[in-house]
Structure 1
């Protein structure tokens, strides 16, 4: 055999091809030709998972490593081949493409099929809820790729992440203005699979703060404050704090619903809008009222010189004020019988008293009505006790005036 067939490639053999020619034609020479078979293969690169190739819709070939490959079933020379991807890699998700995928088998193995795999990338996103109007939150993925989100709803980071790679969504800073909020992330970390991540949940809640301040000029039981028509708070001199927090961005209004006896109170810095911290500058100041006057009626007997069973009335006196009080001399005062007045301070200590003023006529025909003055050195509530001398009977009107500071 001088030359073998090439299209297709075959191998031919000769039987009975040698001998001596006799007296007739030689007819016993037999030539047998068989078409050659060759493998179909090539190289694969970029593979990070498992890919399954096919040739001519069959002869499945799973591959897990980069390098050379060849299908198990050889093809006859002259036959066609067509290499395709049956299943793409999923862990991680990849897309594999085939170059030089089809042709006709020639006189040797096919080795130039080129499979190139690239890992797919996907976006990272989710939804924001609870974000206050006008606020903005800065989100971050994997330590970079910051995203400013100023509305509730969906968000997506601009930089995609390759399948099989980790992602971690964090909050760079929760918003403080115009409303202070605390934001948190749920489902914020994981490994990218075969699709976009859409379930990162960012939830924002508005923070609340206390309303606090300082009170001064309080006497007795002090004052009662009210916060925005709700919580009431008794206060004395010194610092105070309402227990009900107020949401950032909400308004507040501190008022005085009850002032100390004989005092008027003013509130400075008592209203506004809560920002991003406790309100600490509310200032409540109470001062004594202007000089005043008053009176009360009494009718007593057997008070043992105003030491028991008396008619008692509180009078608030500011330090420096002078109390003029009696059942005579003071305009509006009157009395019958032998009256007795005593004055006690807040500690129940007697600070002034009078039995018989002694002025005949103006203070009764015998001068038995009562009058005295007292100048206070402290600001407090005093108590007037009206009664009769010894066990006698008396009645009338006790009148008083306050003058001075």
Structure 2
């Protein structure tokens, strides 16, 4: 029987019998007074304060508490209550109806772990009696740390059981605390010491009826890959080092460190295995050796995502790619980004012209043109839309083919310089992707592969971790992929971060140019994509369909729907699609047949075709 803080004298037998016989009537007639008498006569509470009308007690029961042990319960940060026996308890201070209560175990008994359930709620016109406190035997969890360099420390965590991180600063035995019997545990190193990496043996298990002391942490020469995290608010981010070592990053984290050692002299590569819910993250400074191991930067932003299926679905936004060097065509606006977002599109491919963006090779980007591009990018990324940058130049600059050995006007190094400058501008924007160029044509494919490699290498040299799309030669046609030997030369272009996908375009008219008034057949989309899709599977590669379209005919509608169904059925190798086109240019072109830019507030028919695929 719990003893109240208030001293009780032993009652005569007649008084006890009277209490026993009268309590039911008192409960019925007096309500509040009966509750106070019960509380005063034993169990888990002392004499209550005088209760105003409409105030009620908070209590419950304790089980599993060993004889001789005492726990201290607390309600709403006060009203401490000592409990030394199993059974009912009641807090001393009543609460007004509508008030909240929050019961915690303030003090644990030695060797025991007590937890409360149904411990949070509101008092609603009746006493609360549902708080349950369950006590279990608790056992120590620990082990031995060895190999730690003097003056260094290693940081650990036991699942989410620990109230925080646990830092060990010396070799020898350590304790991670006491945990209840039956608890599963998994000890992880969250930060290794400088120039060392620490691994854990016997890291996981379940507590039985004895203490665990065999968790062995060994630190050895090597280096740990670590860095910063910015903007992470969602759960589910998992990083991967060198394609094998995985590290889950919790929401709100500001830094990370892989616990496993990387051998001195070896290289590292950090990638993202899974994205957090509702966000897109990117890794900058993702690769290098020991001197770069502490500068990895993970950046996350909120993004517009789909529950399943292809991750990217949108359109190529036409505007900034039109006109001469001195022209000022309209770039996509915030209103346009908002419209396409409202239709369910989560990506925009924004086109521009290299010559206007960089009027002189190897010189600074034009401030005016860059400001227009940045405004359009912001319009999309503010909506959580992914933006694919696309210099609409056909592998040329002022009509000179890039990297032409017979015309040295625009060497590969100029293309590399341009992309390195653009990559730096958008370095901190995870929702931006880099499309190397629009539709190379009449270029030897081997030559284009060398040009593309120069750009990829330059982008990665800046530390930018953005996804890159690599367009094939021959107008980037999936249908003509093999005729132009893209299957031979494009795989020779390597990305050290493995963050590159192929880009293809596919129109459905007779010649595949997208300028005719009818599609060649209802199966044109499937027929033209299938061989390329099969090649991707063999290559274990992925691709993005950056342009496709068809005019408003029944044949084209069926062909487009077949194409989109094909992409969905092969989502293991396709990352998404972008319709051609919409944007500020399309309505002003004399009624471009493939435009899905709304006119006079009305959706185009083709937007209706796409709607079922935007959910």
- TM-score after normalising by structure 1: 0.23
Structure with more relative contact order (C-alpha pairs < 8 Å, separation 6 or more)? 1
Give 1 or 2: higher strand fraction: 1
Give the TM-score normalised by structure 2: 0.16
Larger radius of gyration: 1
